Structure 1
Amino acid sequence: FQLKNCSKLINMIEWVPYEKFDDVMYKSKGGFSTIYTATWISGWITNWDEHDRKFLRSGSQYVVLKALNDSSDPNDGFFKEDYMLILSIALDGDLNDYLKSNSKITWLDRYTLLYDVASAIEVIHNSNMIHKDLHPGNILLDGKAWLLCDLGFCGPANKGQAFGIMPYVAPEVLTGGGYTTASDIYSIGIIMWIITSRCHPFSDRDYDNILATDIFFGLRPTIISGTPDNYEKLMKECWDANPSHRPNISVLCKFFISKKNEIMNGKYSFPELNTTPNLLSKTSKIIDSNNINEAILRKKKTIETDEIEALLEYNNP
């Protein structure tokens, strides 16, 4: 049935028994999934042999197995067991790995990375979708190309909850405002900062309600000395507190590709940054917007009390 109704083999869903994999090894666990690597003995379907009436396969492939937490559905008889997604592997790791292992990152490297990421986000936004969980762990290097992963595996349905690594989540999302294309733009602004600093934002602090409250009231990462003015300006526009003031993704794509081309043509030169990586492992988590809003309300009351006390002190010296 699937073969007759699929114009492309890539559109087929294949159920692969666990015994078809060798050397299954645990790698990491995130907010909604657990990651393993394995060798898929027969590999992907590549074609259909009409004469022998069988699928042709790629042969042994090194793959990622992604187990979605709580993926089994006891209310649906079709899914009676936990299952995993079989994914291609990016052998060069993620953006965290890249920033840790490369001591000299040039502006050409940065603009190449940013253009690849922005181009992928542009495709997503033009399809009326939102990534929702953009951070260094979801930006993968495969050869010379940067790729995005985890589209569609994030964003809990419950209102009053967000999902992600806190400093990469837009303030309006932290407070329960919901995801938009503008919230992806905010995340790109933070990515722009991390590739100049080579560390996570606010890495010396707990990612808690206090930090979320400070972000709501305007806290942003400190600009790295030597950052070009036009880069800094665009970065700050991306993390503007007002979503409507942020640029759209096409503006970012045009800026990144123009700067990349200028560097390649020898028309743009800027001193390279000298930074030391500080990238401890961070994973996406559920963020309770209700608790954050309560913390914000408490801080607002504190600010109002301080302002009243200052006014009384001024009027009664």
Structure 2
Amino acid sequence: MTEHVKERVVSLPSCVEIPTDGTDVWEIDARQLKIENRIASGSYADLYRGTYCSQEVAIKVLKPEQITREMLREFSQEVYIMRFVGVLSVFDSGICASSEFMARGSIYDYLHKQRGVFKLPSLLKVALDVSKGMNYLHQNNIIHRDLKTANLLMDENQVVKVADFGVARVQSQSGVMTAETGTYRWMAPEVIEHKPYDHKADVFSFGISLWELLTGELPYGLLTPLQAAVAVVQKSLRPTIPKHTHPRLRELLERCWLQDPSQRPNFSEIIDILKQIAKE
């Protein structure tokens, strides 16, 4: 581990409370972790490539100078969700987490920076990967709340996994939640309006992401994020679906971003629809 990274692996403050079932097998031995080159940097954390017991991993290290109580709360939430789905480990000695390394990066970067394209068979495979991941979360009462292509990571075999659970939440017993979170271009209207919402908010975001996979374009690219949010709520604005889109895919898109959340499909139905389209 490089010296400047070692300095940032500090003791977890008492305010970081990560739920436990008494068998913390998610903790790892930091001595077995080798941190290599930095591959990305965000406002509150750096992302490094490295290895753990010869397995390639991605390591998120929080920036101590940027740490706030709210940030630590989000970090502990991300750790809890990701250990729940079995893809993350945490140093028992510091504010640092490792997860599987996804060599091809985010779908967002693939589409908008590398100008990659998905033909229908590949698009359906990616959409199925995402739907299966989201269906698993929803079956366990977890709402992602920030589903977008930047949070969909792809490995060298084009297997896609859902990532970034910093604002994910376990759904309340009432089945509804409040407070705005997520990213405007992908955000469901009920979330934008601070109305109670449930797991169907993720379905709306999936629909926008699916359109992005189909077109390779940024949702509402001619508008600012705030302008897009206002138009989605007040004018029921949705992205324009290309004319030659597969009819069943068009229907799925339109259902995913219906204004009434109860009318949107759930992910188990979305999986069935995508499989049927793939067979045609």
TM over 0.5: yes
Is the contact between residue 237 and residue 247 of structure 1 (CA under 8 Å) also seen in structure 2? Answer: yes
- Gap change, CA 1:155 and 1:174, over 3 Å in 2: farther
Is the contact between residue 111 and residue 117 of structure 2 (CA under 8 Å) also seen in structure 1? Answer: no
Q: Which amino acid aligns with 2:184?
A: M
Q: Quote how far apart the aligned CAs of 1:38 are.
A: 3.7
Whether 1:87 and 2:82 are equivalent positions in the alignment is no
Q: Quote how far apart the aligned CAs of 1:206 are.
A: 1.3
Is the contact between residue 211 and residue 241 of structure 2 (CA under 8 Å) also seen in structure 1? Answer: yes
For residue 25 of structure 1, give the secondary structure of its aligned residue in structure 2: strand
Q: What's the counterpart of residue 58 of structure 2?
A: 63
Q: Deviations over 1:268-313 (max 9, x none)?
A: xxxxxxxxxxxxxxxxxxxxxxxxxxxxxxxxxxxxxxxxxxxxxx
In structure 1, C-alpha distance between the alignment counterparts of 2:279 and 2:37, rounded to whole Å: 43
In structure 2, C-alpha distance between the alignment counterparts of 1:246 and 1:72, rounded to whole Å: 34
In structure 1, C-alpha distance between the alignment counterparts of 2:258 and 2:217, rounded to whole Å: 21
Is the contact between residue 130 and residue 179 of structure 1 (CA under 8 Å) also seen in structure 2? Answer: no
Two-structure CA RMSD over aligned residues (Å) = 3.0
Q: Which amino acid aligns with 1:134?
A: L
Whether 1:216 and 2:233 are equivalent positions in the alignment is yes
Q: What's the counterpart of residue 85 of structure 2?
A: none
Q: Which amino acid aligns with 1:251?
A: E
- Gap change, CA 1:67 and 1:245, over 3 Å in 2: same
Q: Which amino acid aligns with 1:258?
A: Q
In structure 1, C-alpha distance between the alignment counterparts of 2:101 and 2:212, rounded to whole Å: 24
Q: Quote how far apart the aligned CAs of 1:202 are.
A: 1.2
- Gap change, CA 1:245 and 1:189, over 3 Å in 2: same
Amino-acid identity (%): 20
Unaligned runs of 5+ in 2: 1-21, 74-92, 171-176
For residue 98 of structure 2, give the secondary structure of its aligned residue in structure 1: strand
Q: Quote how far apart the aligned CAs of 1:177 are.
A: 1.8
Runs of 4+ residues over 3 Å off in structure 1: 19-24, 59-62, 100-104
Q: What's the counterpart of residue 140 of structure 1?
A: 153
Q: Which amino acid aligns with 2:62?
A: A
Q: Quote how far apart the aligned CAs of 1:179 are.
A: 4.0
In structure 2, C-alpha distance between the alignment counterparts of 1:66 and 1:214, rounded to whole Å: 37
Is the contact between residue 132 and residue 155 of structure 1 (CA under 8 Å) also seen in structure 2? Answer: yes
Q: Which amino acid aligns with 1:117?
A: V
Is the contact between residue 38 and residue 65 of structure 1 (CA under 8 Å) also seen in structure 2? Answer: no
Whether 1:131 and 2:148 are equivalent positions in the alignment is no
- Gap change, CA 1:11 and 1:97, over 3 Å in 2: same
Is the contact between residue 94 and residue 140 of structure 1 (CA under 8 Å) also seen in structure 2? Answer: yes
- Gap change, CA 1:203 and 1:34, over 3 Å in 2: farther
In structure 2, C-alpha distance between the alignment counterparts of 1:38 and 1:106, rounded to whole Å: 30
Bigger mean CA deviation after superposition, 101-110 or 249-258: 101-110
Q: Which amino acid aligns with 1:140?
A: L
For residue 144 of structure 1, give the secondary structure of its aligned residue in structure 2: coil
Q: TM-score, normalised to structure 1's length? A: 0.63
Whether 1:119 and 2:126 are equivalent positions in the alignment is no
One of 220, 244, 252 as aligned partner of 2:262: 244
Is the contact between residue 144 and residue 168 of structure 2 (CA under 8 Å) also seen in structure 1? Answer: no
Bigger mean CA deviation after superposition, 91-100 or 21-30: 21-30
Q: Quote how far apart the aligned CAs of 1:130 are.
A: 1.1
Q: TM-score, normalised to structure 2's length? A: 0.71
Q: What's the counterpart of residue 35 of structure 1?
A: 46
Q: Quote how far apart the aligned CAs of 1:64 are.
A: 2.6
Unaligned runs of 5+ in 1: 44-57, 74-80, 263-317
Q: Which amino acid aligns with 1:93?
A: G
Whether 1:230 and 2:241 are equivalent positions in the alignment is no
Q: Quote how far apart the aligned CAs of 1:149 are.
A: 0.8
In structure 1, C-alpha distance between the alignment counterparts of 2:101 and 2:262, rounded to whole Å: 37
In structure 2, C-alpha distance between the alignment counterparts of 1:11 and 1:20, rounded to whole Å: 16
Q: Which amino acid aligns with 2:238?
A: R
Listed as ranges, the matches of 1:73-222 within 5 Å are: 83-100=95-112, 101=114, 103-142=116-155, 143-151=157-165, 153-154=166-167, 161-208=179-226, 210-217=227-234, 218-222=236-240
For residue 63 of structure 1, give the secondary structure of its aligned residue in structure 2: strand
In structure 1, C-alpha distance between the alignment counterparts of 2:195 and 2:105, rounded to whole Å: 33
Q: Quote how far apart the aligned CAs of 1:242 are.
A: 0.7
For residue 173 of structure 1, give the secondary structure of its aligned residue in structure 2: helix
Q: Quote how far apart the aligned CAs of 1:212 are.
A: 1.8
In structure 2, C-alpha distance between the alignment counterparts of 1:104 and 1:39, rounded to whole Å: 29
